[in-house]
Structure 1
Amino acid sequence: MNGEMHPRKRALIIGGSLGGLFAGNMLQQAGWDVDIFERSAQDLDSRGGGIVLQPEVVALIRRSGIERDWDNLGVRSAHRVVFRPDGSVEHRQHAPQVQTSWSLIYSLMRSTISDIHYHKNSLLTDITFPDDHHVTAHFKGGARETGDLLIGADGNGSFVRKLLWNDTPDYAGYIAWRGLVPENAMPERARQQLHGDFAFASNLGSHILGYLVPGADNDLRPGHRFYNWVWYRIVDDAQREAIMTGTDGVARRYSVPEGLLAARWKAHLDTEAQTLLPPGFRDIVQATKEPFAQAIRDLAVDKMVKGRVILLGDAASIPRPHTAASTSKAAANALALGDALQAWPDDTDKALSEWEQEQIFRGKYLRKMGISMGDRLLFGGA
């Protein structure tokens, strides 16, 4: 009888990456039915790249019912070390923290959503509103699904945002080169200078950092991990467009995946590493077989709720990576959303209204902080 009086509400989540999985878990905890729609036809667990593990992500993992302690979520580093361009140590500080990988967190969160509710190869084409309390998602091929809430968790290039919002990200004027090197393949000089620490080095228009992360298949055993590096370089629009055109001939606007970087840009990286980087970082960059790249962009929307559609994670705001906050922001958005929907189980609009303001503030604060950090590091700004 109670189930008939209060039928379970249904959420449609567009985007099956971390933001979508975080949101799906928290809505399940709040008693909602959840379906996640991912445009890719393949699993997403092969993506490279490191994440600094933040408390919000750990809190969400625990609330999802996953029992993992900090040491099983990533690789611990002991110190933060800043190198001068000549390789001498400018600053060394004891600062323990844990670094993990996108892949490890994705695998954990994906295990909590049953396959029947995770729909691959689902390309959103439109959103319509049958009434004030429901929303319908239309997909390529003619499929459509209706729910009480649609969550745009489809990343920094969000199609949900393009459909219903006017906000577009701004290019920050620099890109992040990235790479992963197997721990057991680290050059000797890189191993001596970088291994086990969270390391940084700056030069004119250049800022690089690196740390150990879980290895293939989320392996945490010493010797089986990856060294993850991120190198920020000032790049104008014309050069960015050239870099983002991969070996497959596809002209991507803001990223080129691992394995698709053209040979000329690998050679360019080697040359620049020789000129700008201290020896340890120089060696690790030159030892990277398949570097990849992403453009740094800024975004923070003024509204995250439009009727029964909301934006979450990077779809709503894109903090620069210097803040180490992209994943933790998505987790915080999802945690707060779950709390709000549980606090107002019979008034979804009230829950969304209460949820929205703090999340907008969070996105704008991180945008401002990221711009300040990045401009100071790359352009020498205040």
Structure 2
Amino acid sequence: MTKKKYRIAIVGGSIAGCSAAIALGHDGHDARIFERSSQKLQVRGAGIVIPAPLFESLKAQRWLDKDTAHISLQGMSYRVSDSNNAENGRSIWHRPLDAVAMRWGHLFAQLRQRVSDNDYFNGIEVLNITQDKDQSQTLVLSDGSTYNADIVIAADGVHSRTRDLVNDPTSINYSGYVLWRGLLDQKSTLSSHTPTPRNHVLWHPYSGGMAGCYIIPASDHATSTENHTLNWGIYDKVDTDTLSKLLPDATSPEASSAHSLNDFAKEHLRNLLNTKIPSASANLFQQTTTPFVQAIVDLDSKKLVTNNIALIGDAAAVLRPHAASGAVKAIDNALSLAQELQSTSSSISDNLKNWQQQELPKLRQQVTLSKTLGEGLVTSAPVWTDMSEADMSQWWQSMLEGKNWYMK
């Protein structure tokens, strides 16, 4: 029996939306993306880390070019500030890693190239969605037109306007900490000034947060090792009063977006770098000309599907970035949804219900793990300077098992 091919409207054209369009288009569905922003999305974002097996799988499936710029990550090191080694800090743990570092913009550009321009509508906002008698969906678009689809996929991110059609209004909750981020372009001749080896992630945990960095490819997409970029970030526990001074409107969901620094934020970051992390990393991070900050938030949907509308990526739930990148979750959602729609024995409604039944438990586990890691790493972390190599291994395993012996 041949499976019917569907008209699918995808709301949001970032990584989740493009991934859905590629996966569904490969199966012969008519998938069209409506992206409300008229700007080029590939200029957004900084560095991301994805599992090496997923990276190889995406290349094998031709979602990515074979020569896609990336850097293999083979290890993760933790070094704490220490008076005996003020420059580099004291090592307390090292563990192996099998991952790939990329620029967010490079990943997006690769995916976007695989979606036809005829199926990608920039600067078109979906104003409303209504269900028709035949269970299809009619989208009212900002250019005055309408589009009728069998399925709507909401891939419009943390600030999704489609989410409330599936769930009751969902709140975005502040986690208790922010993420400071920056990118610093470097020449390989300056590698001696880079605090972390090319193929490792370096962390500097401190009381109230942790700073980290790793190398990503240069912005020109070059695959050579001559140039590279240092991608750094600092998770920093911040109370709500301080948060309101750091961000223009801390009570708004937009606080979770990246923001340039105001004068108060610049001074806060400067003090953080000067007092909390080893000088080699601090001095390097301070060379960044345009650092930015965002609030780390929690968002979780009770349902993923209703009326032939499905939520994927950050529109479904926001994971704190310790567990995995949002890009990984978005790609996984797109692949699993496309696979479920291949079933020839179910209606659209049944396909989507089956997909939700598979994905919701997985999402619950991911949300729980991301919160557990956030608590263990930032808000309720151990006394890092007291931790031995054995303590660190036990601490990490306990977090993965959901235990909380390390919390104070």
Give the TM-score, by structure 1 length. 0.89
Question: In the alignment, does 2:78 pair up with 1:77?
Answer: no
Kindly provide the amino acid, as one letter, of the partner of residue 152 in structure 1.
A
* Structure 1 equivalent of residue 85 of structure 2: none
**CA–CA separation in structure 2 for the residues paired with 1:242 and 1:187:** 36
* Structure 1 equivalent of residue 118 of structure 2: 116
* Structure 1 equivalent of residue 232 of structure 2: 229
Range 347-356 or range 73-82, more displaced: 73-82
Cα distance per residue 1:38-83 (max 9 Å; x no partner): 11101101113111122445534543x34644x7451123331111
Report the CA distance between 1:253 and its aligned residue.
3.2
Structure 1 residues 6 and 164, CA gap change in structure 2 (3 angstroms) = closer
* Structure 1 equivalent of residue 283 of structure 2: 283
- Are the equivalent residues in 2 in contact too, given 1:13–1:34 (CA < 8 A)? yes
* Structure 2 equivalent of residue 369 of structure 1: 369
Kindly provide the amino acid, as one letter, of the partner of residue 162 in structure 1.
D
Cα distance per residue 1:243-302 (max 9 Å; x no partner): 2229xxxx87324546x3224322321121101112232123211111112211112222
* Structure 2 equivalent of residue 90 of structure 1: 92
Range 164-173 or range 329-338, more displaced: 164-173
Cα distance per residue 1:152-206 (max 9 Å; x no partner): 0011111101344222222111111111110229977741545442111111111
* Structure 2 equivalent of residue 199 of structure 1: 202
Alignment counterpart, residue 145 of structure 2, candidates 143, 146, 149: 143
* Structure 2 equivalent of residue 42 of structure 1: 39
Structure 1 residues 256 and 333, CA gap change in structure 2 (3 angstroms) = closer
* Structure 2 equivalent of residue 299 of structure 1: 299
Report the CA distance between 1:91 and its aligned residue.
2.0
Helix, strand or coil at the partner of 1:122 = coil
Report the CA distance between 1:218 and its aligned residue.
2.3
- Are the equivalent residues in 2 in contact too, given 1:256–1:292 (CA < 8 A)? no
**CA–CA separation in structure 2 for the residues paired with 1:338 and 1:93:** 35
Report the CA distance between 1:317 and its aligned residue.
1.2
* Structure 2 equivalent of residue 104 of structure 1: 106
Structure 1 residues 96 and 333, CA gap change in structure 2 (3 angstroms) = closer
Question: In the alignment, does 2:236 pair up with 1:238?
Answer: no
- Are the equivalent residues in 2 in contact too, given 1:344–1:350 (CA < 8 A)? no
Kindly provide the amino acid, as one letter, of the partner of residue 245 in structure 1.
P
Helix, strand or coil at the partner of 1:45 = helix
**CA–CA separation in structure 2 for the residues paired with 1:256 and 1:329:** 18
* Structure 1 equivalent of residue 393 of structure 2: none
Helix, strand or coil at the partner of 1:218 = coil
- Are the equivalent residues in 2 in contact too, given 1:61–1:109 (CA < 8 A)? no
Structure 1 residues 354 and 196, CA gap change in structure 2 (3 angstroms) = same
User: Which runs of 4 or more aligned residues in structure 1 lie more than 6 Å from their structure 2 counterparts after TM superposition?
Assistant: 185-189
**CA–CA separation in structure 2 for the residues paired with 1:306 and 1:332:** 20
Matches within 5 A, 1:336-375: 336-344=336-344, 347-375=347-375
Structure 1 residues 285 and 187, CA gap change in structure 2 (3 angstroms) = farther
Kindly provide the amino acid, as one letter, of the partner of residue 182 in structure 1.
D
Count of matched residue pairs: 372
Helix, strand or coil at the partner of 2:331 = helix
- Are the equivalent residues in 1 in contact too, given 2:273–2:282 (CA < 8 A)? yes
Alignment counterpart, residue 9 of structure 1, candidates 6, 9, 23: 6
Range 105-114 or range 358-367, more displaced: 358-367
Alignment counterpart, residue 220 of structure 1, candidates 220, 223, 233: 223
Give the TM-score, by structure 2 length. 0.84
**CA–CA separation in structure 1 for the residues paired with 2:29 and 2:118:** 15
* Structure 2 equivalent of residue 254 of structure 1: 255
**CA–CA separation in structure 2 for the residues paired with 1:265 and 1:51:** 24
Question: In the alignment, does 2:177 pair up with 1:169?
Answer: no
Structure 1 residues 61 and 339, CA gap change in structure 2 (3 angstroms) = farther
* Structure 2 equivalent of residue 179 of structure 1: 182
The percentage of aligned residue pairs carrying the same residue is 27
RMSD: 2.5
Structure 1 residues 41 and 67, CA gap change in structure 2 (3 angstroms) = closer
Structure 1 residues 42 and 203, CA gap change in structure 2 (3 angstroms) = same
Helix, strand or coil at the partner of 1:225 = strand
Helix, strand or coil at the partner of 1:266 = helix
- Are the equivalent residues in 1 in contact too, given 2:166–2:305 (CA < 8 A)? no
Kindly provide the amino acid, as one letter, of the partner of residue 101 in structure 2.
Q
Kindly provide the amino acid, as one letter, of the partner of residue 98 in structure 1.
V
Kindly provide the amino acid, as one letter, of the partner of residue 44 in structure 1.
L
Long gaps (5+) in structure 2: 83-88, 382-403
**CA–CA separation in structure 1 for the residues paired with 2:242 and 2:304:** 33
